[in-house]
Amino acid sequence: MPRNRRIFSSSGYMHIISRGNGRQIIFEGDSDYNFYLMLLKKYSLEYDISIIAYCLMSNHVHILVHDRKKNISKMMLIINSVYSRYFNKKYERFGYLFQDRFLNENIESEQNLLGVFRYILNNPAKACIAPSSEYKWNSYHLYCQSNSFVDTSYISSLIGDWHNYVAFIDSANNDNFLEYNPELKNDTWAAGILHDILGIPNGLEIKNYPKPKRDKTILLLKENGLSGRQIERLTGISRGVIQKIK
């Protein structure tokens, strides 16, 4: 069945979302995040696409771009292809890493542009991982830095100086952002539990266990408070399989 033709923004501004297949983890460690950012910098420059903001989460990516030449499909195809090969080789896995095609949300107004900009940077706070200003893998601290591949020149003309920027990002303004809660059992906590009780560097190994060992391990994770969705994201095992293990 043919895919629907992708519709591009008339303004050139788009919110790009790329998710792990089955919501699985796509970044296991700092080197993975750094490799993806290296690809983003390299190919955004090659395809003449301005990166306005980004946020790399454990199982998905948000990018705000200005694409004047409609090259976004080419850029995302090569980034995801190169990164998938790197990740599969490093973690000895097979199959698709990313979920189908990337999603694009077109932006046609300044108000929408500012809202998406703030939404992307606030993703770690929304997910209760960390305040946006403390998260390592978003572009929060690259605002108005001339030596960065991130270009916030137009955004800064709308927001103003650093003081205004911080106030703007921190303001909820009906975005329904959740407050940061270090006690919440988020994916960072879940990965720590997995490491502590199993002694393995990442959950992808569990997918290759023999079925009896796999099921016993998943039960152990459940008993230690991990949700089915967390186990799915950490291991790449489908939620249907996880739910059947009791």
Q: How far apart are CA 184 and CA 177, in angstroms?
A: 15
CB atoms within 10 A of CB 224: 13
Instruction: Please give the CATH topology (third level) of the domain spanning 13-170.
Output: Alpha-Beta Plaits (3.30.70)
pTM here is: 0.74
Whole-number Å distance between alpha carbons of 75 and 39: 9
Q: State the number of CA atoms in the 13 A half-sphere of 61 facing the CB.
A: 27
Cβ–Cβ under 8 Å, residues 65 and 34:
no
**Domain edges within the chain:** 13-170, 187-244
Residue type, 118: R
Mean pLDDT, range 49-69, rounded to an integer: 95
Q: Name the percent of the chain lying above pLDDT 90.
A: 43
Instruction: Tell me the per-residue pLDDT of 122-166, one tens digit each, with 9 for 90 and over.
Output: 999 888 889 999 999 999 999 988 888 999 999 998 888 998 999
